[in-house]
Amino acid sequence: MEALVPLLDGVRVALLSVNLLAAVVGVLIGQLIGVLPGIGPSAAIAILLPVTFGLDPIAAMITFVGIYYGAMYGGTITSVLLRIPGESASVITTLDGYAMARQGRAGPALGIAAVGSFIAGTLGILGLMFLAGPLTRVALAFGPPEYAALLLLAFSLVVYLTGRDRLKGAASVLLGLWLATVGVDLISGLPRFTFGQLKLLSGVQFVPVAIGLFGLAEVLAAAATADPRPIVRAAFRVREVLPTAADWVASRWAILRGTVSGFVVGMLPGAGATAASMIAYTVERRVARDPHRFGRGAIEGVAAPESANNAAAVGAMVPLLTLGLPGSATTAVMLGGLMLFGLRPGPLLFEQHPAFAWGVIASMPVSNLLLVLINLVAIPLFVAVLRVPRGVLMPAIVAIAVVGTYSLENHLFEVWLALLFAAVGYAMTVLDYPPAPLVLALVLGRTLEESVRQSLLLSHGSLAIFVTRPIAAALLAVTAALLLSTLLRRRPTPAPDRAGRTA
């Protein structure tokens, strides 16, 4: 109850006209950033830092938070409509979101994502207010061995996501892990697998790989089928694009479970929204009565990861505000911005600058509410995109993909990389290899390598460090149990279904 008094003061600060305007601007910019692949919220905030120097620190931080939230949902729009994940956290959403769009249910997919994100964000903010202290102490207990064990569990869950042939899922994960090793070695500083290309010294970036494997590969697959009809059916009226009562019933527990897992994982520095959305999706498949529906248009497969990535965005603010530890790339840029304003996040922030700390916290539900209102109103406009004939839509997808990829470094190398992975993605589609595990392994593989090598440095090369630390040992035990149950379980193999080929 002690938090209510400063929180009420924070609400008054957040509702000032200048701060409300900052929230609106941040949400709209974040939406645009999420829709255009290649920029990302961390880059957007870094670009806007010089612009905010003349603003009040509270208004600047509220703008940054709005960008963070808006980008989380903006990536959902292209994931559902075009099968192009705007952010790595939206990769999982493409599995069922795009399948729903192909069934003419893009509106309900976007609607449940918007409302699920709002619910998850609101509950996450309550957790931030009342549970920040205890949960931060739990996060501090995670060191390199614990992160390594958590990521191994995450990769075992990725393999579990593969519906028909888990060996193919494992092969995709291994390919993604190999791509994650491209670049400069963490310890020796020597180049690895760069093949003489200077652009590969910084590693293989997520955006060209994701755009190639998902967006451009889908264009190639569509071009291979001589079907003159639009790529998907699309309703336009509001009542036809919003989730039905059955959708709400099916999604209610998925939203709550995604919120809890997303908030907890989001607090862990380095884990981020990608791992949170992946874990939430896998949990839903585990508890589902018919897991074969996932990847074929299950609305829980959209509600859970979208709730998780929004809750993870809130969770990442816990270590930032309470300890000054960024939990993601975006919050790391925010930390740099706060220090430029003369503010040092940490335990003393709430004592020395209570108006700032609680004003930022109170602005979070405001940004969430603005986000859900804007998107529920705009869903019919988004869905109208799917009425465009294939001959117009496909070149538009290619144009968006090329522009988004080129904007990364303003260099054609990334465009050629996207085209290369478009061919790889098309081959994976034909051979029925799932692309999602490859992308997720690419995103998280570098963090896994860093955690393992740091652990071995701490233990002087002994692997015992992974089983002598209780949290790491428990996570490895869960991973072993999951893999063992997967090997022992014998399930009938369903017939191939082109609509669900990415499951």
- Give per-residue pLDDT as tens, 419-463: 898 888 888 888 878 777 787 788 778 878 888 888 888 888 888
Determine the pLDDT at residue 495.
44
Q: DSSP string spanning 175-243?
A: HHHHHHT-EE-TTT--EES-TT-GGGGG---HHHHHIIIIIIHHHHHHHTS---S-SS----SHHHHSP
Provide the 3-class DSSP secondary structure of residue 343.
coil
What span, in angstroms and rounded, lies between the C-alpha atoms of 439 and 184? 20
Determine the pLDDT at residue 502.
45
Per-residue pLDDT tens for 358-371? Answer: 888 888 888 888 88
More confident residue, 319 or 328: 319
What span, in angstroms and rounded, lies between the C-alpha atoms of 390 and 223? 9
Q: How much of the chain exceeds pLDDT 70, in percent?
A: 79
Per-residue pLDDT tens for 135-180? Answer: 656 666 778 888 888 888 877 776 765 556 777 878 888 888 898 8
Determine the pLDDT at residue 9.
78
Determine the pLDDT at residue 229.
43
Q: How much of the chain exceeds pLDDT 90, in percent?
A: 1
Whole-structure pTM value: 0.67
Evaluate if residue 200 carries a pLDDT over 80. yes
For residue 496, what pLDDT band results from cuts at 50, 70 and 90? very low
Evaluate if residue 503 carries a pLDDT over 60. no
CA dihedral 67, 69, 72, 74 (to 10 degrees): -60
Per-residue pLDDT tens for 32-89? Answer: 777 765 566 766 776 677 667 677 888 888 888 888 878 777 778 878 877 777 676 7
Residue 388 buriedness (CB in 10 A; 0-12 / 13-18 / 19+) = middle
More confident residue, 327 or 76: 76
For residue 347, what pLDDT band results from cuts at 50, 70 and 90? low
What span, in angstroms and rounded, lies between the C-alpha atoms of 342 and 471? 37
What span, in angstroms and rounded, lies between the C-alpha atoms of 176 and 377? 38
Mean pLDDT in residue range 489-497: 49
DSSP state of 36: S
Mean pLDDT in residue range 294-305: 88
Q: DSSP string spanning 373-436?
A: HHHHHHHHHHHHGGGS-HHHHHHHHHHHHHHHHHHHHTSHHHHHHHHHHHHHHHHHHHHT--SH
Mean pLDDT in residue range 271-291: 80
Determine the pLDDT at residue 238.
58
Q: Mean pLDDT over all residues of the chain?
A: 77
What span, in angstroms and rounded, lies between the C-alpha atoms of 33 and 10? 28
What span, in angstroms and rounded, lies between the C-alpha atoms of 335 and 324? 7
